[in-house]
Amino acid sequence: MLFQTIANVFRIPELRNKILFTLGMLAVYRVGFWIPVPGVNQDALTSFFEQQAASGSAAGRLSQYVAIFSGGSFGQSTIFGLGIMPYITASIIFQLFQTVSPQLKKLKDEGPTGYAKIQEWTRYATVGLCIVQAIGWLTYITSSGLVYSAWAHNPLWWIMAVTALTAGTVFLMWLGEQIDRFGIGNGVSLIIMAGILTGMPGAVMSVLGNFDAQDPNKMGWMGLGLLLGGFVLVVAGSVLLTVAQRRIPVQQAKHSRGKRTFGGQRSYLPLRVNHGGVMPIIFASSLMVIPSVVLSAAAEQFAQANGESGTTYQILTWLSSSFSMGAYPYVLLYVIMVYFFSYFWITVQFNPEEMSKQLRDHGSFIPGLRPGPRTAEYLEAVMERITYVGAAFLAVIAVLPMVVNTELNVDFVVTQFLGGTGLLIVVSVALDFLQRVEANLLMRNYEGFLGDSGAESERRPRG
């Protein structure tokens, strides 16, 4: 059945061309990922960040965080080193500003024209963020002795390196837009997913290297089975969290035109349990990395200046270890931040008054509730309750890799595929991609990946 569906995908010329174009653009992204910035000692840079990651220092934590979200890597100073994160940051900023800025809200209400203008401003903001981040990054690696001395003090090299890193992110942004136009799926999300999945071969090799059924100090068959079973369960839970909905019944009012009566149909208003998607974890992770990096850097600087003695150093070391990934205070604060941003996101994105107004304007109502403020209050109460459940799922998935890493001593390269933001991004992007392919198949009366819906579509009359 599955192989027949895949064959159907490539029988449709338009869909086949879209998929091949998307794969081609992702291949271009991976090729550019290995083009280095001139003047940087790549061998020294790689070994430096491997040591930093092993020691859990500030630079190592920041590098791991950027690698998960951006589709780039600070451990490899390539032209795509900044990844797509500056564009995502600019998009989030303008999304939030649309709720507080009357000018942006007016542009949003104008439709495609206003959206194009907001996109133009987002691109300009992306370039500005790239320049700031590139200068900060190059300053750090220069001060760490990771740039050849002949280049480090040359102004032309600085201009070239900042331009290369900025152009790399702008090119990734352009790649994403080309996938949106000529490919299938959300281009920027697919680029991030491709960057995350490239770490999967390394995770598999790490598991195989740590597997030995005869050695009691290494992973045996029981541990391997638990690891695989946990991966399947977490992926299934992530899929459930992504597609789960609370369906509210909606009745359309009847109205008469001449001798005919229209309306009266019953439908459903779907409210997603995880309305914020992966955004609450992204916000929480972004803020949680700040105290971790700042405290670790402060402890390192204090030790270099005053030595590893004294009450101040002990306090800084204790705080740094308490807010390191996997520590109890870190996990507790992380869960609180996930809950906070889950509710913050629905406050920004979900407007029950506007939804109630749209239902009333379309002649629809929720049975047992008067249209208007009463309906808005009900929708807001329902969304608050289901967001509590959705935030609980998000919190469990977010902290699971850290708990497995610290308590079971499993490499973080492996545990990041047992939960966390990376897994949620991969699941949500893969589901969106499959739904788009499914829609294209069903439009042409082919059986889709879901089977039953495809068969039902084929049984429906075409007239």
- Does residue 445 have a pLDDT over 90? no
Residues 139 and 134: their CA atoms lie apart, in Å, by: 8
In which residue are the tokens 């459903």 written? 268
- Short-list 73, 92, 86, CA closest to 35: 73
- Does residue 463 have a pLDDT over 50? no
Contact call for residues 418 and 234 (beta carbons, < 8 A): yes
Among 17-26, 89-98, 426-435, 438-447, name the one with the lowest average pLDDT: 438-447
Across 131-145, 236-250, 259-273, 378-392, which has the greatest mean pLDDT? 378-392
Residues 399 and 403: their CA atoms lie apart, in Å, by: 6
Reported as a single tens digit per residue, the pLDDT across 122-156 is 999 999 999 998 998 888 888 888 888 888 889 99
Task: For residues 381-394, give the mean pLDDT.
Answer: 91
pLDDT at residue 44, rounded to an integer:
83
Residues in the chain: 463
Alpha helices, DSSP H, located in 144-278 = 149-152, 155-182, 187-197, 200-209, 221-243
Q: Which of the two residues, 443 and 260, has the higher pLDDT score?
A: 443
pLDDT at residue 263, rounded to an integer:
61
- Count of C-beta atoms within a 10 Å radius of residue 215: 10
- What's the gap between Cα 170 and its chain centre? 19
Beta bridge partners of 257: 260
Q: Which helix (H) or strand (E) holds 241?
A: helix 221-243
- Does residue 226 have a pLDDT over 50? yes
The SS3 of residue 147 is strand
Q: Which of the two residues, 166 and 325, has the higher pLDDT score?
A: 166
- Does residue 461 have a pLDDT over 50? no
- Count of C-beta atoms within a 10 Å radius of residue 56: 16
- Short-list 46, 63, 49, 77, CA closest to 325: 63
- What's the gap between Cα 106 and its chain centre? 28
pLDDT at residue 59, rounded to an integer:
57
Task: For residues 51-57, give the mean pLDDT.
Answer: 61
Contact call for residues 400 and 238 (beta carbons, < 8 A): no
pLDDT at residue 285, rounded to an integer:
76
- Short-list 300, 304, 335, CA closest to 320: 300
What are residue 150's phi and psi, to 5 degrees?
Answer: -65, -20
Residues 402 and 331: their CA atoms lie apart, in Å, by: 8
Beta bridge partners of 262: 255
Contact call for residues 287 and 337 (beta carbons, < 8 A): yes
Contact call for residues 21 and 183 (beta carbons, < 8 A): yes
- Short-list 295, 289, 220, 252, CA closest to 70: 289
User: Largest Cα–Cα distance in the chain?
Assistant: 92
- Does residue 396 have a pLDDT over 70? yes
- Does residue 455 have a pLDDT over 70? no
- Does residue 359 have a pLDDT over 50? yes
| pTM, entire model | 0.79
pLDDT at residue 135, rounded to an integer:
92
Residues 67 and 84: their CA atoms lie apart, in Å, by: 11
Among 67-81, 205-219, 351-365, 446-460, name the one with the lowest average pLDDT: 446-460
Percent pLDDT > 70 in the chain is 87
Handedness of CA 88, 94, 97, 99 (dihedral sign): negative
Residues 346 and 275: their CA atoms lie apart, in Å, by: 7
Task: For residues 83-99, give the mean pLDDT.
Answer: 83
Among 424-433, 437-446, 453-462, name the one with the lowest average pLDDT: 453-462
Fold of 1-198: Preprotein translocase SecY subunit (1.10.3370)
Contact call for residues 389 and 371 (beta carbons, < 8 A): no
Q: Which helix (H) or strand (E) holds 395?
A: helix 373-407
Contact call for residues 288 and 324 (beta carbons, < 8 A): no
Task: For residues 168-191, give the mean pLDDT.
Answer: 91
For 56, 404, 410, the CA distances from 400, given in Å and listed in that order, are: 19, 6, 12
- Short-list 24, 128, 42, CA closest to 79: 42
- DSSP for residue 211: B
- Does residue 89 have a pLDDT over 80? yes
- Does residue 5 have a pLDDT over 80? no
- Short-list 378, 385, 390, CA closest to 269: 378
Contact call for residues 47 and 6 (beta carbons, < 8 A): no
Rg of the chain on CA atoms, in Å = 25
Which residues, in sequence order, are CB contacts of 17 under 8 Å at separation 6+?
A: none
Task: For residues 340-361, give the mean pLDDT.
Answer: 86
- Does residue 454 have a pLDDT over 60? no
In which residue are the tokens 């700031």 written? 132
Average pLDDT score over the chain: 81
Across 3-7, 256-260, 326-330, which has the greatest mean pLDDT? 326-330
The SS3 of residue 84 is coil
Q: Tokens at residue 53, please?
A: 């990651």
Residues 387 and 11: their CA atoms lie apart, in Å, by: 42
Q: Which helix (H) or strand (E) holds 277?
A: none
Percent pLDDT > 90 in the chain is 16
- Count of C-beta atoms within a 10 Å radius of residue 351: 16
In which residue are the tokens 């906070």 written? 340
- Short-list 71, 310, 349, 46, CA closest to 192: 71
Reported as a single tens digit per residue, the pLDDT across 156-177 is 999 999 999 999 999 999 999 9
